[in-house]
Amino acid sequence: MTEFKLPDIGEGIVECEVVEWRINEGDVIEEDQPVVEVMTDKALVEITAPEAGRVTRLHVPKGEIARVHAPLFAYEAEGEATESAAPEPQETPAGESAGTTPQAAAPQVSAKDFILPDLGEGIVECEVVEWRIAEGETIEEDQPVVDVMTDKAMMEITAPEAGQVTRLHVAKGEIARVHAPLFAYAPAHGEEAEETARAPAPADAAPRPAAPSRAETPPASGLGPHGRIPASPAVRRLLREHGLRLEQVPGSGKQGRVLKEDIQAFLERGDTAAAAPPPAGEAAPSARPPSEEAEVRVEPLRGVRAAMARQMVASASTIPHFQYGEELDVTELLALRARLKPEAEARGTKVTLMPFFMKAMALAIRDFPILNSRLNEAGDEIHYLPSCNIGMAVDGKAGLMVPNVKGVERLTLLEIAGEIQRLTHDAREGRVASSDLKGGTISISNIGALGGTYAAPIINAPEVAIVAIGKTQWLPRFDSHDAVVKRAIMTVTWAGDHRLIDGGTIARFCNAWKGYLEAPETMLLHLG
């Protein structure tokens, strides 16, 4: 059986409506015979048969939407139909005695196409970054099969069921389209299992043990046979829609598999338990091998890098930036961090200076709420945001990402540190949830972590400000008695949206933020 996939029917067209089928299932068709009329947003298009054969299935009913590169109808080519229609010989084959029973042919399981599911709102395509399987390999249910890159994050696609891979439709580095075939596989218990269920069992067949009920099978450690929590693509999408992470929802299925019912029960309970950090030993896709060509290497700009390029061009060209620089004396802050570090590590959390930067920023914003606002699209309203969601730029495997810590004003330093640790790990693996990338209100870029001293950052629109933090340097300074002392000095550079923020406002805000950081014990007066 052959699947006829809807071909490209015009530049930029990704779907069309089936207006009229001119064939029915079971009909015999000829090459170039008109089989269906479809309507795009531009014209009525007639689709013809690629070769002669017999129609076995119409995938898209009349009036429904068909997608380009997705199966439209199935047919048996003329040769295939002849072979399947040929009667089996009744006579005993030559070379076999009349009393010998010929060996039964092995059941044939037809291949199925795995259709790339919805990856997120507005996402219609993605780049295949790395195949983890090859044609001919056997796969298990929920086994990671491919890493794909959207314009937001890297995603892992898993096998829907056990079987054998027959074909990879999209090569590494190529573009795969949502709702189009990604790979084909022969299910391990496909048509054979269905036939067994319909036919009576032979007398000498041993009965198969009944599968244990869900109540009898306690969830395992939460990790399936491939070192990850099992969940279907539909379940993962439902988690993204509710802003949840897979680790948050206890799975009741086999080997800790998360089901839709688990998500619904989790939401009904109103659980807000923090997610456990992903396992440190989780395998990451291997890096691309360096090009061996001596000539210019051309690489398409796709995924997160392409999205960042578009956003930065739009921000730099539509927002009037102005810069403001300052020095921070973080000597006391470093000493406080050193005292708190052992206790935090005992709780499994690594404390850097970033939680202090964020907490001090949230405290300073209480007096300068304009820094936590945004301008509407018409440019005639200022929207003051109720929560301080501070983003941090992370140089990850997929490119620059800016996940944000939600509600910093309500979190303790330890909670902020835990969120930073989680988001940094996810960003460096290229697997940040879309909910972690949305809703930021102000951003921090820690260029000092790479050795930089100064930077002129570009605002992460629609936010109104961003600060770049330089590296800490031990420099000589004069104390109150004019004596030269050794102090830890850090340079910070702000970029502000000059439509909303003037120089005086950013200077006063920076001074308030600086006060909390240079005398960190003063933050205790304002912690809830």
Residue 56 lies in a domain: yes
Total number of domains constituting the chain: 2
Q: Which residues of 81-97 are buried (b: 16+ CB within 10 A; e: fewer)?
A: beeeeeeeeeeeeeeee
- Is there a domain that residue 101 lies in? no
Q: Is the dihedral of CA 184, 190, 192, 198 positive or negative?
A: negative
Domain span at residue 348?
A: 320-526
Domain boundary among 68, 85, 102: 85
Q: Per residue in 174-203, pLDDT tens?
A: 889 888 899 999 998 754 444 444 444 343
The pLDDT score that the predictor gives to residue 476 is 97
Domain boundary among 53, 85, 117: 85
Q: What's 391's domain CATH number?
A: 3.30.559.10
**CATH number, domain with residue 67:** 2.40.50.100
Residue 138 lies in a domain: no
Tell which residue, 362, 361, 394, has the closest CA to residue 460: 394
For 101-125, the pLDDT digits (tens) are: 444 444 556 788 999 987 776 688 8
Q: Given pLDDT bands bounded at 50, 70 and 90, which one contains residue 395?
A: confident
Q: Quick: pLDDT tens for 53-90.
A: 999 999 999 988 988 888 999 999 876 655 554 444 44
Question: Picking from 204-218, 227-241, 350-364, 478-492, which range would have the lowest pLDDT averaged per residue?
Answer: 204-218
Q: Shortest CA distance to 248 belongs to which of 222, 226, 224?
A: 222
Assess if residue 112 is contained within a domain: no
Mean pLDDT of the 204-233 span:
49
- Distances in whole angstroms, Cα of residue 430 to Cα of each of 156, 221, 234, 433, 500: 10, 25, 21, 9, 34
The answer to whether residue 404 sits within a structural domain is: yes
From 493, 521, 514, select the one nearest 329 (Cα to Cα): 514
Q: Which residues of 228-250 are buried (b: 16+ CB within 10 A; e: fewer)?
A: bbbbbbebbebbbeeebbbbbbe
Least Cα distance to 491 among 352, 358, 328 occurs for 328
What's the confidence (pLDDT) of residue 474? Answer: 96
Query: If you count DSSP H runs as helices and E runs as strands, how many of each does the chain have, helices first?
Result: 10, 26
| CA-wise closest residue to 40 among 58, 67, 62 | 67
CA–CA dist 484, 487 (Å, integer): 9
Q: Measured over all CA atoms, what is the biggest interatomic distance in the chain, rounded to whole angstroms?
A: 115
In a domain, 223, yes or no: no
- Asked if residue 403 belongs to a domain, the reply is yes
Q: Of 85, 101, 122, which residue is a domain's last?
A: 85
Residue 221 domain flag:
no
**What is the set of active-site residues?**
498, 502
